[in-house]
Amino acid sequence: MPVFFVCAGLLGLLAVSLTVSVGRLRMQKKIWLGDGGDPEMLAAIRAHGNFMEFVPLCLVLIYVASDYYGYWPIAIVSLVLLLSRVLHAGGLLGFIPLGRVIGATGTTIILVAASAMCLYAGFTLKQY
């Protein structure tokens, strides 16, 4: 479980970084609402928005599954989620070639895996 908490904390810091990136660009480009038609602003907004759309649900599903599964499955899905989101943000912001595709694919796989883990746990847990 400690790996999950470290990954969750690092993902929180990545969220802060993406938020600050959007704010910095808004100040620099004087775009106070929307993307102003600026491709760099749009990319920063989407990197932040996509992160906020997927990461909270993935973290909740992984946390719920952690009561049923052992250390390694939870550690692996947590690490893959962290790596996927770093790749996705880096790719969308133009720092990592193919990062967006690899990161989006990894995030989707983790969303499916964590959902399946919860479903399996839900159907196999015994009620008293």
- DSSP tag of 59: H
Q: Are 59 and 107 in contact (CB under 8 A)?
A: no
pLDDT at 1: 61
pTM, 2 dp: 0.92
pLDDT at 116: 98
Residues in the chain: 128
Residue 71 makes CB contacts below 8 A (sequence gap 6+) with 1, 3
- For 52, the 3-state DSSP assignment is helix
Q: Is 38 exposed, middle or buried (0-12, 13-18, 19+ CB in 10 A)?
A: middle
Alpha-carbon distance of 41 to 125, in angstroms, equals 47
The pLDDT tens digits along the chain (128 residues) read: 699 999 999 999 999 999 999 999 999 999 999 999 999 999 999 999 999 999 999 999 999 999 999 999 999 999 999 999 999 999 999 999 999 999 999 999 999 999 999 999 999 988 77
pLDDT at 126: 81
Token duo for residue 49: 């928005």
* Domains within the chain, CATH numbers bracketed: 2-123 (1.20.120.550)
